[in-house]
């Protein structure tokens, strides 16, 4: 009888260890992309957009990305893309690996590695606008590399006075 109980306990322990060590495959549904609310935005005055990637899963991920992990698009009230006035965009081609803990957010515009036109904007006309945040990164999951290009599911609305 003791051998049966011992065998059952060992088998249960093996099952638990195997289940806990099983790698979870990353999925788009595990992440949320967005940007901070924009308030007190004045026409013809520069403002900065700060994006984030939130890990909604209970799993820690190591994400690899460039300094340009976040890009932003601004749309007017009619849905037209608001063009920004700049001649050339600069970014260093430096790769980063960052830890994204469970239920945590990753935020970094990498101001020191790219020019401000990637995250600083200026709108000339007062009105209601929306910002779309796009995050580009990779996750290594065992032998598999999963590429993510995710955008905010809801555009963040703001008012320019």
Domain CATH number, residue 49: 2.60.40
Is residue 6 domain-resident?
no
Is residue 123 domain-resident?
yes
Q: What is the value of pTM for the model shown?
A: 0.80
| Cα–Cα–Cα angle for 37, 43, 46, rounded to 5 degrees | 65
Q: Compute the distance between CA of residue 67 and CA of residue 87 in angstroms, rounded to an integer.
A: 20
- Residue 75's φ and ψ, nearest 5 degrees, are -120, 145
Q: Compute the distance between CA of residue 99 and CA of residue 116 in angstroms, rounded to an integer.
A: 25
Is residue 7 domain-resident?
no
Is residue 20 domain-resident?
no
Q: How many domains does the chain have?
A: 1
Residue 23 has pLDDT above 80, yes or no: no
Is residue 8 domain-resident?
no
Is residue 109 domain-resident?
yes
The parent domain of residue 48 ranges over 27-160
DSSP 3-state of 81: strand
Q: Tell the residue number behind the tokens 């849905």, with chain if given.
A: 79
- The tens digit of pLDDT for each residue in 66-93 reads 888 999 999 999 999 998 876 554 555 6
């Amino acid at each position: 009888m003791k051998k049966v109980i011992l065998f059952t306990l060992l088998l249960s322990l093996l099952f638990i260890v195997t289940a806990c060590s099983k790698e979870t495959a990353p999925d788009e549904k595990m992440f949320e992309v967005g940007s901070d609310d924009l308030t007190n935005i004045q026409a013809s005055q520069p403002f900065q957009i700060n994006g984030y990637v939130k890990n909604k899963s209970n799993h820690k991920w190591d994400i690899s990305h460039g300094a340009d992990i976040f890009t932003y698009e601004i749309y007017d009230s009619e849905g037209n893309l608001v063009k920004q006035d700049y001649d050339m965009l600069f970014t260093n081609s430096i790769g980063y690996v960052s830890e994204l803990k469970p239920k945590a957010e990753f935020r970094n515009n990498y101001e020191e590695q790219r020019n401000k036109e990637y995250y600083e904007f200026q709108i000339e006309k007062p009105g209601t606008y929306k910002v779309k945040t796009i995050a580009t990164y990779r996750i290594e999951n065992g032998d598999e590399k999963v590429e993510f290009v995710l955008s905010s599911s809801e555009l963040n609305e703001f008012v320019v006075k």
